[in-house]
Structure 1
Amino acid sequence: MRKCDVGGQAVIEGVMMRGSKGLATAVRTPSGKVEVDMKNVKPLTKRYKFLNIPFIRGIFILIDSLIVGIKTLNYSASFFEEDEEESKFELWLKKKLGDKGANDLIVTGTMMFSLLLSVGLFVGIPTVLAALFKRFGLHPIALNLIESVIRVGILILYMYLVSKLDDIYRVFQYHGAEHKTIFCYENEEKLTVENVKKYSRFHPRCGTNFLFLTMFVSIIVFSLTGWGGVIQRIILRVLLMPFVAGITYELIKWLGKTDSKLGKIIAYPGLKLQELTTKEPDESQIEVAIASLLAAEGIEYKKKIGELLKEGADILKEVSIDTYILDSQLLLGKVINKDKLYLITNRDEEVSKKSEKEYFELIQKRKDKMPIKYILKSAEFMGLDFNVEEGVLIPRPDTEILVEETLKYIPKDKDMNVCDLCCGSGAIGIALASFRENINIDLIDYYDTPKKVTESNIVKHNLKERAKFIKSDLLKVVIHQNKKYDILVSNPPYIKEEVISTLMEDVKDYEPHTALSGGQDGLVFYRRIVEESSKVLGEDGILAFEIGHDQGEEVKDLMINNGYNDIKVIKDLAGLDRVVIGTLKS
């Protein structure tokens, strides 16, 4: 069994560990990510060797632990106070002393207040209450024992009451995670959640043990001081506390190293008290404790594919993303450039820390409801792979009906000129050109992102000879150029403006508003396109639209009123109107 000096402390939603490489604080942030703050800071007794004297070093280690503890608590709390405004007093302090000076003063003040509160609770009150028994003529040793019993009783009551608070309960869970992780490390097992879960949450080198043993040592030390007045006894006990702390620290160090029966007997009461100050942690809390210890000991632990998939899926499941398993697989596959089958069959393969970091950055984007296809920068359409990114509409399966119906008007062996208007990613036009090798296609859109994405897809599908992007406000540029097409196909923005705010988060928050909004009635673009189309369509030219489920008759009427006939309204697989196709009269 490995003997080590790793120690720790639970903080708000996290764990601080002090190891051979420094002090590491790991916190689970509100976003679900584990943030690790690593400081190469040695304890006071290692920085100043003259303080490392047995029976004296304990008080300096105690003071150092208090300072570090308050600082790490402040650090962990900072992740959960972003929306809180600083008080006027805090602002005044920072103005006078600067950020560091103000923070140091607050830490010092907090520590002094904590010490005074501890003296009041565990020295002042027990001493005053024990004095009440003097009237019974008890011996000073008996009075000291009564005082000690009261002190221990207050300690146990205090621990019990605070353990009932929800926030403190979670801190006690992290306390349990800290102990279990240290036990696993001392037993020289790899630090994984499954390994750590096997170990006890009760550890002999715990601060709870230190508190109880301090009480135990103080019984012996204070019994030798006689029984004077109340004020005299309080002052004497405060003055003797460094000596008591020094003895207790040496005792704790010995308990951490011995397996003797005597050591187990001395440690037993403190271990029982840990039933109050530690609680069984969940897996996510153990992960935080592991991250802290690894950093404190300078160990680079690479997670396995299976671990990353589970963690990613759990994060996405928590925010009600139905496809959490598939999405976690797709995102990790993107990072390490492997397909889903590889991930499933190689779950024990380790992943680099760089890839792990990149993976969780993508998981965070998906957790924020960014569409998975924007994150992957890829979407399948008509069996073809297309580049996509924010700024272009993600191609939908419903739109495949528009392509399939349009293909019926394009003979396989005929040369034709086709226009894909409002092309976005270019998926419609490029799919048509991919299935009909004799057509030429112009892809028109008004914005820069569609230009970049469409041109990348033209190259991707080897269509540079037959496909070209044209930047234009609808058909203005090609009308000016006197271009003529046999077919004009378009999936224009058609959602009513008032409806956009009711769409799913991944649509309304990420997909371009310009590709969604069809104005107040959803027909703004249809009117313009129908009116302008006659200027670019040749004899018996075909106009094909994708439409909203309730727009079939309205778009059909627009086309009839502008000289189109043989108009068909075609339904999708759900039985809803999806496509309108008509022929321009000769």
Structure 2
Amino acid sequence: MRNTQVGGQAVIEGVMMRGVKGTATAVRKPDGRIQVEFEKRLPITKKNKILSVPIIRGFVSLIDSLMIGLKSLNFSASFYEEDDEPSKFEKWFNERFKEKGDNIILGFTLFISILLSVALFFLLPTALTSLFKKAGLGVLWLNLIEAVIRIIIFLSYIYFIGRMDDINRVYEYHGAEHKTIFCYENEEELTVENVKKYPRLHPRCGTNFLFLVMIVSIVIFSFTGWASLWQRLVWRIVLLPLVSGVTFEIIKWMGKSQSKLAGIFAAPGLKLQLLTTREPDDSQIEVAIEALKSAEGIKETIGSLLDKGSKDLNNAGVESYLLDSQLLLGKVIGKEKIYLITHREEEIDRYHCEEYFELIEMRKKKMPIKYILEKCEFMGIDFFIKPGVLIPRPDTEILVEKVLECIEEDNQLSLCDVCCGSGAIGVSLAYYRNNIKVHCIDVSELAGEVTQRNIEKFDLYPRAKFIKSDLLEEALINKESYDIIVSNPPYIREAVMDTLMEDVKNYEPHIALNGGIDGLDFYRKITMQSVNLLKKGGILAYEIGHDQREEVIKILKENGFSNIRSFTDLAGNSRVVMGEVP
């Protein structure tokens, strides 16, 4: 069994863990993602020899734990605060104290918390017990009555706040914290399934500490006699550091010992945890695991990241979840798929992990994987793409291949790619034919940015260049002439736009998809303009929808084109129509 002193605390929708590397607070944000805040810090008892002396270290650790707990609670609460306008006092306070403000608020909150705890669990029981002194009871009996009252108040407090929905959630995270620590101590891999096997009651719990404080105080306070009420109150406050210090040493011994006596001491506190913990769900266990790993400096491996990522994508209904998780991790760490498969045990730093899971979240929302990767293979070369331009499809390669067949290797031709989007068609043609000049035309500035980047990527300037234009208007103004005009225009019927797949409908630009009521608007406009731009014998080549062959051929004929032919894809669907100027 692993020897560890990992401890933790449940916070709002999260868990704080303290480990050998520091303190980590993991919180499940409202959008479902896990946010981890890590602070590298030594326990305060390690900073000074006097502070590490038994008994003293207990009280010092208690104050230190309270401060860390409040900071963690404040961090977790920040994700669920209302976006209200700050009050005049808040504005004045922030302007007056600036970065010191958080420390001042933390110190004040700690002071108030200790004050209320002392009042509720020490001063109130002492005051109530004073009522029994008139019955002539001895000091021992009075101390026992005080302890019983204190325990009743303590149990009532825990029970009633646990009936609140928000606190019940905290109790569930408390259970997740204990189960995760148990799994870690038993040297099992920190997975949800492994953690679920372990109990939610742990002997080193803060609940045990609070309960033992009640018991230890009975013994220590019994030596103070039973003088006036104010004397007793002062004694209880003065002796509080001693009580907490002794209790700390007992808890420390219980955590290490396997003896029956330790079991007897731990039993009441373990039973008490039935009130302060609940069985967590898988998502809460995931948060506790992230907190513990960060606190102990346990890094994720390629294998664990792939497993988590593919599970998340599968649960979100992404069919290609295995491949996508590999592609996304490969993007983050700059490695190919084969490397990921053969290096599953390689550790990945926390920052790359966070970046990876951000990409996983994007894919879970059905953003196309190629947009996330900013890369798309087309005609055997990798194009840069980004949201706002159409993703090049394999079907479009048929159009490029048919145009390439019309161009000899040493031909010096001029070519125009209309509605170029990412520039995939025009850039591919310039890439595979070294002597042609290509104008890539689109009305979108974003398309221009992406196309220009691809032109530069393949070192095609000045043979290839982008021109911003509404279809061929700029070419007509400049009296350009071309040997070939090629286009994959928007051709989806307006009525069926809402029936497109979710990733296409929600992410790809509608301006590059919507072809009007019958899907033929752009074929009509481009064909009419091309007549005045194509040289004699020039070629106009289109990609078409699978059911648009007859309509597009008719449009070409009506505008005087001849030698019109069409080509199908591998599935036998019409995909390309080409015609020539007589």
Quick check: TM above 0.5? yes
Q: Can you list the C-alpha shifts for 1:45-86, whole angstroms capped at 9, x where unaligned?
A: 444444444334433332222222112211222233384543
1:308 pairs with one of 299, 305, 309: 305
Q: CA deviation at 1:337?
A: 5.5
Other structure's SS at 1:79 match: helix
Other structure's SS at 2:300 match: coil
Query: 1:246 and 1:280 mapped to 2: Cα distance?
Result: 31
Q: Does the CA-based 8 Å contact 1:426-1:443 persist in structure 2?
A: no
Corresponding residue for residue 485 of structure 2: 488
Check 1:482–1:251 CA distance in 2 against 1; reply closer, same or farther (3 A cut).
same
Q: CA deviation at 1:313?
A: 2.7
Query: 1:523 and 1:124 mapped to 2: Cα distance?
Result: 84
Check 1:318–1:485 CA distance in 2 against 1; reply closer, same or farther (3 A cut).
same
Corresponding residue for residue 275 of structure 2: 276
Query: 1:161 and 1:189 mapped to 2: Cα distance?
Result: 36
Q: CA deviation at 1:206?
A: 1.9
Query: 1:355 and 1:518 mapped to 2: Cα distance?
Result: 42
Check 1:156–1:498 CA distance in 2 against 1; reply closer, same or farther (3 A cut).
farther
Query: What does residue range 40-439 of structure 1 map to in structure 2 within 5 Å?
Result: 40-43=41-44, 45-81=45-81, 83-101=83-101, 103-127=102-126, 129-130=128-129, 138-184=137-183, 186=185, 199-227=198-226, 233-282=232-281, 285-297=284-296, 299=297, 301-317=298-314, 321-336=318-333, 340=337, 343=340, 347-348=344-345, 350-351=347-348, 356-367=353-364, 369-381=366-378, 385-397=382-394, 399=396, 410=406, 418-429=415-426
Structure 1 unaligned runs (5+)? none
Q: Can you list the C-alpha shifts for 1:394-436, whole angstroms capped at 9, x where unaligned?
A: 11355456557x56994999967653222223333466688x9
Q: Does the CA-based 8 Å contact 2:24-2:36 persist in structure 1?
A: no
Query: 1:89 and 1:320 mapped to 2: Cα distance?
Result: 49
Query: 1:523 and 1:517 mapped to 2: Cα distance?
Result: 10
Residue 471 of structure 1 aligns to which amino acid in structure 2?
Answer: I
1:538 pairs with one of 493, 516, 535: 535
Question: Higher mean Cα deviation, 260-269 or 12-21?
Answer: 12-21
Residue 10 of structure 1 aligns to which amino acid in structure 2?
Answer: A
Residue 25 of structure 1 aligns to which amino acid in structure 2?
Answer: T
Q: Does the CA-based 8 Å contact 2:564-2:580 persist in structure 1?
A: no
Residue 92 of structure 1 aligns to which amino acid in structure 2?
Answer: W
Instruction: Give the number of equivalent residue pairs.
Output: 575
Question: Higher mean Cα deviation, 542-551 or 363-372?
Answer: 542-551
Corresponding residue for residue 8 of structure 1: 8
Other structure's SS at 2:16 match: strand
Q: Does the CA-based 8 Å contact 1:388-1:394 persist in structure 2?
A: yes
Residue 265 of structure 1 aligns to which amino acid in structure 2?
Answer: I
Q: Can you list the C-alpha shifts for 1:271-327, whole angstroms capped at 9, x where unaligned?
A: 222233234445554554454445445x3x343333111222344456554543332
Query: 1:552 and 1:84 mapped to 2: Cα distance?
Result: 59
Q: CA deviation at 1:547?
A: 5.5
Pair 1:442 & 2:438 matched: yes
Query: 1:215 and 1:113 mapped to 2: Cα distance?
Result: 21
- Percent of residue pairs bearing the same amino acid type: 54
Question: Higher mean Cα deviation, 216-225 or 125-134?
Answer: 125-134
Check 1:457–1:52 CA distance in 2 against 1; reply closer, same or farther (3 A cut).
closer
Query: 2:312 and 2:580 mapped to 1: Cα distance?
Result: 53
Query: 1:152 and 1:65 mapped to 2: Cα distance?
Result: 22
Check 1:336–1:55 CA distance in 2 against 1; reply closer, same or farther (3 A cut).
closer
Q: CA deviation at 1:556?
A: 6.8
